[in-house]
Amino acid sequence: MEASENLWIAVTIALAAGVIIGIVLTQIARRVSGSYSSGTRSQLESLQLRFEEYQQEVSSHFKTTANLVAQLNRNHQEIQEHLSQGAMDLSPDEMTRQRLLAALEEPPVSRSRPNGEPLFDSLEPPRDYAPKGDSPGTLSEDYGFERKS
């Protein structure tokens, strides 16, 4: 019986030691994960604050841009009115006055030929590559040079 009692005592001691070691390791793991968690939280809060500041900067930028565009439109209108008034006040005769006023009211010059065709066939950049034939293209290292035999 003494052997079985010793076995039960050893099992009980091992169980108690396992429980104590488990509790200690759990507490250590919580502290370690808590420090990581608090670091992650502070990093998240920092990023969120930076993002909110960025959003405010973008909003402020677009608000300023809208105000400047509105001011530009007002200035353009004032210039147009000033030129019209100058044409009315300073033109020597009615015919010149009418031509000046008509020139002020014309739309901007378009990018087309008099017959209505566009100035450029396409807005595509020129292609600079070798042709598909037997002759070397402009990017070939042999282009424009004759080989001496």
Return the ∠ at Cα 116 (arms to 111 and 122), rounded to 5°. Answer: 55
Contact in structure between 104 and 82 (CB atoms under 8 Å):
no
Give the pLDDT confidence score for residue 37 in this predicted structure.
66
- pLDDT of 101-128, one tens digit each? 788 777 665 556 666 666 666 666 666 5
DSSP string of 82-132, one letter each residue: HHHHHHHHH-SSHHHHHHHHHHHHSPPPPSB-TTS-BSSS-SPPPP----S
pLDDT tens sequence for the chain (149 residues): 677 888 889 999 999 999 999 999 998 888 877 666 667 788 899 999 999 999 999 999 999 999 999 999 999 999 988 988 887 788 778 888 788 778 877 766 555 666 666 666 666 666 656 556 666 666 666 666 676 65
For the chain, give every domain's residue range: 9-104
Q: Give dist(CA 65, CA 71) in Å, integer.
A: 10
User: What pLDDT is stored for residue 13 in this prediction?
Assistant: 94
pTM here? 0.42
